[in-house]
Amino acid sequence: MSDEWRRAREEIERQTLHPAAARSVRSKGRQRSEPECAVRTEFQRDRDRILHSKSFRRLARKTQVFLNPEGDHYRTRITHTLEVSQIARTIARGLRLNEDLTEAAALGHDLGHTPFGHSGEALLNRLAGGFHHAKQSLRVVDVLERDGQGLNLTWEVRDAILHHSKGKGPILAPAGKGPGTIEGQVVRVADIVAYANHDLDDAVRAGILSLGELPDAVVEVLGRGHSERITFLVTDILRHTNLDEKPRIEMSSEALEALSGLRAFLFDRLYENPLVYGQFGKAKQIMEALWEMFVSDPDLLFGRYWKDCPEHLRSPVERAVADFLAGMTDRYAIRLFQDLYLPKSWWRL
């Protein structure tokens, strides 16, 4: 089969991308070698594999901030992921970076998130003796997808997925400690640009916050409107990143300080707000009950609920249970808890 289509795309990369950008022909490769695709570059293949994966589809039923919201316009993990992808692609295009690599990493960055948001992650971290969604995202693409075969992605996409998370740490990764590609740095910053703005938007919609409560220092720099804030931050990144001088993503000090202030405000007033966080106590009880059930009775897990789990993923049992629970959607976790712990109704006909 002719490979002229792939080679044409690779030539476009060679001619148009910035010298500091990642190129698919220079990829560090996959964990297992494969024949090249006739049509797609290596990073395009990675994007498609993530997009068609089961774990990507499950993001539609996983909490972003609000647990089981009534309205149709609240974000979920999948809408967050799509917003990150779009922001990251806009930055990558403006800087002449590899848009395919950027998109693949953005689409895959949150595949390892648990049900019930960060509360589920915190619980598994305690029960399993260590759990982090970025590492779990890498485990999903390396091991868990395709019935234990993994997606066999390129090093560049895997590296960006692993290093996207910030928590309350530096927004721009310290030199030598962040993603190994500039495209990975783009995904890291696009993640916080997306969630800091859309979580605020959802909180206002829910009546938890009002725009009038935003710190003046944040509003003066970023603006008050959702689109205004994103446009300012993306434009600031494009203006202050000079890849000819330094191969890293940069922001102005005022933009970085304002974005950090917005994140701190959200942690204080939204993420740790009792009105929001209180509901997650119930979710933790569900997750903890399922953990105890399956760790004590793995035959129930593998014999009824995860029958197709490959043998090499069944031990140690704590690791297997963590993988199973992390992969669940909110809705499935609730239904499973009801099935295992709540009495069934009986009807006499």
> What confidence tens digit (pLDDT) does each residue in 215-255 have?
999 999 999 999 999 999 999 999 999 999 999 999 999 99
8-state DSSP, 32: S
pLDDT at 117 over 60: yes
Claim to verify: residue 85 and residue 214 sit in the same structural domain: yes
Per-residue pLDDT band for 276 (boundaries 50, 70, 90) equals confident
pLDDT of residue 280: 82
pLDDT of residue 84: 98
CA dihedral 234, 235, 236, 238 (to 10 degrees): 90
Q: Which residue is associated with the tokens 């993603």?
A: 179
Averaged pLDDT score across all residues of the chain: 94
- Structural domain that includes position 135: 43-276
> For the chain, what is the domain count?
2
CA dihedral 294, 295, 301, 307 (to 10 degrees): 160
* 115 found inside a domain: yes
* 131 found inside a domain: yes
Claim to verify: residue 267 and residue 310 sit in the same structural domain: no
The string of pLDDT tens digits covering residues 176-186 is 789 999 999 99
Cis upstream peptide for 170 (omega within 30°): no
| Residues 42 and 104: beta-carbon distance below 8 Å | no
pLDDT at 346 over 90: no
Claim to verify: residue 57 and residue 192 sit in the same structural domain: yes
In angstroms, the CA 328 to CA 326 distance is 6
| Residues 135 and 106: beta-carbon distance below 8 Å | no
* 13 found inside a domain: no
pLDDT at 268 over 80: yes
The string of pLDDT tens digits covering residues 86-100 is 999 999 999 999 999
pLDDT of residue 187: 98
Claim to verify: residue 161 and residue 55 sit in the same structural domain: yes
8-state DSSP, 254: H
In angstroms, the CA 255 to CA 194 distance is 15
Out of 223, 257, 276, pick the residue that ends a domain.
276
Claim to verify: residue 152 and residue 223 sit in the same structural domain: yes
pLDDT of residue 176: 79
The string of pLDDT tens digits covering residues 121-179 is 999 999 999 999 999 999 999 999 999 999 999 999 999 999 999 888 999 988 778 99
- Averaged pLDDT for residues 285-291: 96
Claim to verify: residue 295 and residue 189 sit in the same structural domain: no
Per-residue pLDDT band for 66 (boundaries 50, 70, 90) equals confident
